[in-house]
Chains A and B, each alone.
Chain A
Amino acid sequence: MGTNFITAQQVSKSFGTKHVLTDIDLTLPAGTIYGLIGPSGAGKTTLVKSIMGMEKVDHGTVTVMDAVMPNRQVMAKIGYMAQSDALYETLTARENLTFFGQLMSVAPKQLKQTIAYAANLVNLTKDLDLRVSDYSGGMKRRLSLAIALIQNPNLLILDEPTVGIDPELRQQIWEELNNLKATGKSILITTHVMDEAERCDYLMLIRRGIALAQGTPAELKAKYQVDSIEQVFLKAGRLQDADHSNR
């Protein structure tokens, strides 16, 4: 277990009578980029929040870095990027980064350095002293990513990190994610962009709260006998609709 950053077993969650997650198993070893793909409303964000310990699961257990979630201390070790940009618009980007750095217990001496590193990574260095209210949508997204990286965490949980980011920068970000992976960090990423799914080491197809398929991109393509993840997704979806016992 020690090598796995995340272990989720039989996780179920419902809001009222609506089943949002049904018996999800997920294992994230060190040095892996794990992709959660699925349409909006599939339960990706709920799964992410359950792993973070922000949502209480009805059944099953979630363990992050050997600690059973929810656990407040473990949160300091997770770099989290929410689906919506949760930024203080009246403050500058630097002030936002400083604030979250302080909350993440980054030592005051290191703070300046880590802000410079994170800003450089998302290409915001020259706009650091602008107020967030003057930022474009893409810039806000990048700032959110920089905030997730502020305490140099070993585990990154990114909820739709590349929405609204132009292809060139997306390329850069993925390169950086691969660099982080090479240093032994793990990344859990949700997306509905299929070409991003191809870049993940391991994928989970999730639809209507059910894990339809799990495996490396190559394994999935072989299993469904198609040649792109997009087609895997479509085929798996059709099979789910045809097979009502799956629901």
Chain B
Amino acid sequence: MRTIAIVKRVLKQMMRDKRTLALMFLAPLLIMSLMYFLFQNNTTQTAALGVHGVDNAVVKAIDTKHVDITHYDSAAATKMIRQHDLAGYLTQKNGKLTITYANSNPTDTSLIKASLQAGLVKLRMQTLVKATKAQKKALTAQQQALQKLVKAQSAETVTKLKAAIAQAQASGNTAQVAKLQAQLKKVTAGSATKTATAKKAPTYSTASHYLYGSSDSTFFESFLPIFLGFFVFFFVFLISGISLLNERTTGTLSRLLATPIRRGEIITGYLIGYGIFAVIQTLLTVTFAITVFKIHLVGNIWLVFLINFLLALVALTFGIFISTFANSEFQMIQFIPLVVVPQIFFSGLIPVSGMATWLQWTAHIMPLYYGANALTDVVTKGADITAIGGNLLVLLGFMSVLTILNIVGMKRYRKV
């Protein structure tokens, strides 16, 4: 009953605060739209490469759509890079290629590196192909000669056999005729199969199949589930934390605790009240992503809601817990770079499995790591509840521990 009173009050207060509502519901859509356009075209990036005295064949080989090649008259790489704002400079001296990278942008460096490597492989392949062609010519000539020989031989045998058959027929030996005819068949068939095997050459083609997503999959699609979780986590953390902070600084928390309400009832009321807003926010962002950006949701949409709801509860208890260490809204904002930003790094944007061991351990104390993992599994791989059960349990654990801490922490305001 008292819990419901708290829930109603939280809802009313939120509904009155139009700006906070707009921030919670519209800001994620705005950020998502921006991300959609930012991550759509990531294949047309080009790096400027200067070349000097390089063989035309080499230049032709490394010329891809990712590098923009210009010829210069100077061999001074550093100078030319500085002067023309190049990403790399390629020179050739006595058949030796030297590349200098500006390396001010690692992406440009890797683009040039990749093009150069691909080009050199291409060149090597070309020489290899030439050599094989020559070999092939020699081989076919040999084969032809061989075939001629075989043909001549078999023709000789055929005429010999035919003569023998005629002789046998004339003498009336039918058994001998059948035997010789079978031999004749073998000889003619043998030459036929030989020509067939000589003609067959292996040709390979590739057909691509994607286990998750499709060939059009972009960064946006793989980041989206992570951001769905992050929005909920961030906004609920901030809004609930500041809201409880306000209760504390205006004295209403202390006043609340001068009523017979249980400390747990206050926390539960907050959990339900802000949980409702988290669900609405998830509903909006997911619907927006599916209808406007045509994102393909592989898994169950209710699981997405469940994960986000749990994440919201963790964010809420976390926000309330952190708010006890802040004395003003500004101090609450100061916690964002400390406790929210690091979570982004471990949410899966950067693959956690590629991190140093101690960093991987750090990831495991971040609630968002579990939430984003579960969301990615459901949205892109269609995981069911048993597959993400472990993540959900950890989130529940975070929530329980923080709730207990909050309830104990409120003892500062009332001893029972």
Would you call A82 an interface residue if the criterion is a C-beta within 8 Å of the partner chain's C-beta atoms? yes
- Which residues of A have CB within 8 Å of B260? 72-73, 75-76, 103-105
Would you call A192 an interface residue if the criterion is a C-beta within 8 Å of the partner chain's C-beta atoms? no
Interface-facing stretch out of B9-17, B121-129, B161-169, B364-372? B9-17
Interface-facing stretch out of B23-31, B189-197, B251-259? B251-259
Rounded to whole Å, the gap between the CB of B248 and the closest CB of chain A is 10
- Distance in angstroms between the alpha carbons of A55 and B258 in the assembled complex: 11
Would you call A170 an interface residue if the criterion is a C-beta within 8 Å of the partner chain's C-beta atoms? no
Task: Indicate with 1 or 0, residue by residue over A33-52, a CB within 8 angstroms of chain B CB atoms.
Answer: 00000000000000000001
- Distance in angstroms between the alpha carbons of A233 and B360 in the assembled complex: 68
B262 contacts which of A52, A72, A100, A105 (Cβ < 8 Å)? A72
- Distance in angstroms between the alpha carbons of A88 and B2 in the assembled complex: 16
Known contacts A71-B416, A88-B9, A91-B9; A54/B259 CB under 8 A: no
Contact B262 A54 (CB under 8 A): no
Would you call A174 an interface residue if the criterion is a C-beta within 8 Å of the partner chain's C-beta atoms? no
Rounded to whole Å, the gap between the CB of A138 and the closest CB of chain B is 18
- Which residues of B have CB within 8 Å of A90? 12-13, 16-17
Which B242-268 residues sit within 8 Å CB-CB of chain A?
250-252, 254-262
- Distance in angstroms between the alpha carbons of A100 and B259 in the assembled complex: 8
Contact A75 B258 (CB under 8 A): yes
- Which residues of B have CB within 8 Å of A102? 1-2, 4-5
- Distance in angstroms between the alpha carbons of A73 and B416 in the assembled complex: 10
- Which residues of B have CB within 8 Å of A88? 9, 13, 252
Would you call B415 an interface residue if the criterion is a C-beta within 8 Å of the partner chain's C-beta atoms? yes
We find that the number of chain A residues with CB closer than 8 angstroms to chain B is 29
Which A75-106 residues sit within 8 Å CB-CB of chain B?
75-76, 78, 80, 82, 84-91, 95, 99-100, 102-105
B416 contacts which of A72, A80, A89 (Cβ < 8 Å)? A72
Known contacts A54-B254, A86-B255, A91-B16; A103/B413 CB under 8 A: no
B5 contacts which of A75, A86, A103 (Cβ < 8 Å)? A103
Would you call B133 an interface residue if the criterion is a C-beta within 8 Å of the partner chain's C-beta atoms? no
- Which residues of A have CB within 8 Å of B414? 53-54, 70
- Distance in angstroms between the alpha carbons of A76 and B261 in the assembled complex: 9
Rounded to whole Å, the gap between the CB of B21 and the closest CB of chain A is 12
Rounded to whole Å, the gap between the CB of B301 and the closest CB of chain A is 34
- Distance in angstroms between the alpha carbons of A76 and B254 in the assembled complex: 15
Would you call A56 an interface residue if the criterion is a C-beta within 8 Å of the partner chain's C-beta atoms? yes
- Which residues of A have CB within 8 Å of B4? 102
Which B1-48 residues sit within 8 Å CB-CB of chain A?
1-2, 4-5, 8-9, 12-13, 16-17
Known contacts A90-B13, A90-B17, A99-B5; A70/B259 CB under 8 A: no
- Which residues of B have CB within 8 Å of A75? 258-260
For the A-B complex, the count of residue pairs with Cβ-Cβ distances under 8 Å equals 74
- Distance in angstroms between the alpha carbons of A102 and B1 in the assembled complex: 8
Which B46-93 residues sit within 8 Å CB-CB of chain A?
none
A70 contacts which of B1, B255, B415 (Cβ < 8 Å)? B415
Q: Which residue of B lies closest to A147 (CB)?
A: B255
Rounded to whole Å, the gap between the CB of B251 and the closest CB of chain A is 4
- Which residues of A have CB within 8 Å of B416? 53, 70-72
Q: Which residue of A lies closest to B5 (CB)?
A: A102
- Which residues of A have CB within 8 Å of B2? 102-103, 105
- Distance in angstroms between the alpha carbons of A102 and B12 in the assembled complex: 15
Q: Which residue of B lies closest to A91 (CB)?
A: B12
> For B4, B9, B256, B259, which residue has the most chain A Cβ atoms within 10 angstroms?
B259
Contact A80 B13 (CB under 8 A): no
Known contacts A53-B416, A71-B416, A99-B9; A105/B1 CB under 8 A: yes
Contact B259 A103 (CB under 8 A): yes
Task: Indicate with 1 or 0, residue by residue over A125-149, a CB within 8 angstroms of chain B CB atoms.
Answer: 0000000000000000000000000
Q: Which residue of B lies closest to A73 (CB)?
A: B260
- Distance in angstroms between the alpha carbons of A72 and B2 in the assembled complex: 14
Q: Which residue of B lies closest to A52 (CB)?
A: B258
Which A100-114 residues sit within 8 Å CB-CB of chain B?
100, 102-105
Which B375-416 residues sit within 8 Å CB-CB of chain A?
413-416
Contact A54 B261 (CB under 8 A): no
> For A52, A85, A88, which residue has the most chain B Cβ atoms within 10 angstroms?
A88
- Which residues of A have CB within 8 Å of B415? 53-56, 70
Q: Which residue of A lies closest to B2 (CB)?
A: A103
- Which residues of A have CB within 8 Å of B254? 54, 82, 86
Task: Indicate with 1 or 0, residue by residue over B87-126, a CB within 8 angstroms of chain A CB atoms.
Answer: 0000000000000000000000000000000000000000
- Which residues of A have CB within 8 Å of B1? 102, 105
A contact residues vs B (CB 8 Å cutoff): 52-56, 70-73, 75-76, 78, 80, 82, 84-91, 95, 99-100, 102-105
Given contacts A84-B251, A103-B256, 8 further A-B contacts (CB under 8 A): A53-B416, A72-B416, A75-B258, A75-B259, A87-B250, A100-B259, A104-B260, A105-B2
CB<8 Å pairs between A and B, sample of 30? A54-B258, A55-B415, A70-B416, A72-B262, A76-B260, A78-B258, A80-B255, A80-B258, A82-B255, A86-B250, A86-B252, A86-B254, A87-B250, A88-B9, A90-B16, A91-B9, A91-B16, A95-B12, A99-B5, A99-B9, A102-B1, A102-B2, A102-B4, A103-B5, A103-B259, A103-B261, A104-B259, A104-B260, A105-B1, A105-B2
- Considering the complex of A and B, which 8 residue pairs feature the smallest CB-CB distances, nearest first? A86-B255, A102-B5, A86-B251, A103-B259, A70-B416, A76-B260, A86-B252, A70-B415
